[in-house]
Structure formats: structure tokens, C-alpha cells
Amino acid sequence: MTRQQDHPYFAQAHVRPERTPRLRLKPKAPVTGYVEGAWWPHTRDLATELPDLLEVLSVRLGPIDRVVYALNEWEDAPARIAMVGHTVRLDGYRFQPADTIYVLGVNRARIVLLVVPPNTEPARAHSMLMGAASPNDASTVEDLLTRGKPAATERTDTAVQAQQRWDSEGGARAR
């Protein structure tokens, strides 16, 4: 029986990420909620963003086998990317839950991550990252993505006020 350290993947030196991924993970423990953490990529170019992320996640998962992502949320991506000592399959699906990626190890372990949109304002992104990584947070993806946004009633009130101002200034059409 071979030890994990004897696996060819571990025999090769790990490459340090070019830039540290903006990533927060829940501690290794029973996981609550849908996601095990959150990732805030710099761009929507999956082929550019993934190598650094996967290098970091391989510490927890071991060799990475596959990444499943929402096809319409990323620029065109190749079917595979090369990592140190192996290749990772990239599978884009139209029905993949929005704003998530699944990272699967060769040992069948997986991590589901919330994907914070790259253009998110930093304070809001930080709130989403920390919430998704909180050990007892069982929020849905939708709940996590709305952190730091004005409440829906505030947005509606602002829209109503704008419409009323428009109408009072002569913007309403005669009927």
C-alpha cells in the first residue's frame, strides 16, 4: 500500500501561485451550508484564474481531477488545463448553479465555492468571502451574494422617488 506522499503528484515540487487567490475556506470540519468557502477571481478568464486557485486547493484536496463551472459566467475556457504532474478537466454546464464552482479531487473529495463576481466592490466582496467561510454559516448562495447590498425596499423606494420626481417635473406623458 502506498502512502499519499509516495503518489507521483506529491513527489513533484508544488509551484507557488503567481498571485495568491482571494479565497476563504471553512475550517476542515463538518460543513454547514451549501458552500465550503468563497473565491473572488480577478477576471472572468477561467484558464488564467484557475491554476493559482487549484494550487492552493490541492493542499486540502490532494491532486485535482476536475472543475465544474457555470458555462455562461466565464469566458471561453479550454477543456483541460495542465498542472504540475497532471491535467485537470474543466467542465462547463449551462445548468450549473450560478455563482458556484465545484472542485473535485482524484480521491473524490470536493469543495463547492461561491464565486464572488470579479467587479464586486471590495467591502462587499470581503463580506461575502467571510460569510461563506464562517463555520456555522448555512446561507444560500443567493443570501451570500446579497450581503452588503441595499435592502430591496430601499431600492424600490429610491425608484419610486425618482419616478415621482420625474412626474412632478413635467416628465409624465399626457394620456
Residue 145 included in any domain: yes
Asked whether residue 163 is assigned to any structural domain, the reply reads no
* Residues 118-172: tens digit of each pLDDT: 999 999 999 999 999 998 888 899 999 998 675 554 455 555 665 555 555 555 4
In tens, the pLDDT along 7-54 reads: 333 333 345 556 789 999 998 866 678 899 999 999 999 999 999 999
Judge whether 173 lies within some domain. no
Q: Residue 170 falls within a domain, yes or no?
A: no
- Give a yes or no: residue 105 inside a domain: yes
Q: What confidence tens digit (pLDDT) does each residue in 85-118 have?
A: 889 999 999 999 999 999 999 998 999 999 999 9
Q: Is residue 161 part of a domain?
A: no
Which residue range forms the structural domain that includes residue 100? 4-149
Q: Do the domain assignments include residue 162?
A: no
Ramachandran area for residue 54 (φ above 0: left; ψ -120 to 50: alpha; else beta): alpha
pLDDT (0 to 100) of residue 175 = 44
Q: Count the domains in the chain.
A: 1
Q: Indicate the average pLDDT of the chain.
A: 81
HEC sequence for the chain: CCCHHHCHHHHCCCCCCCCCCCEEECCCCCCCCCCCEEECCCCCCHHHHHHHHHHHHHHHHCCEEEEEEEHHHCCCCCCEEEECCEEEEEEEECCCCCCEEEEEECCCCEEEEEECCCCCCHHHHHHHHHHHHCCCCCCCHHHHHCCCCCCHHHHHHHHHHHHHHHHHHHHCCCC
Look at residue 92 and tell me if it is in a domain. Answer: yes
Q: Model's pTM, two decimal places?
A: 0.74
Type of residue numbered 26: K
Residue environment code for 83-114, b if the CB has 16+ CB neighbours within 10 A, otherwise e: beeeebebebeeebbebbbbbbbeeeeebbbb
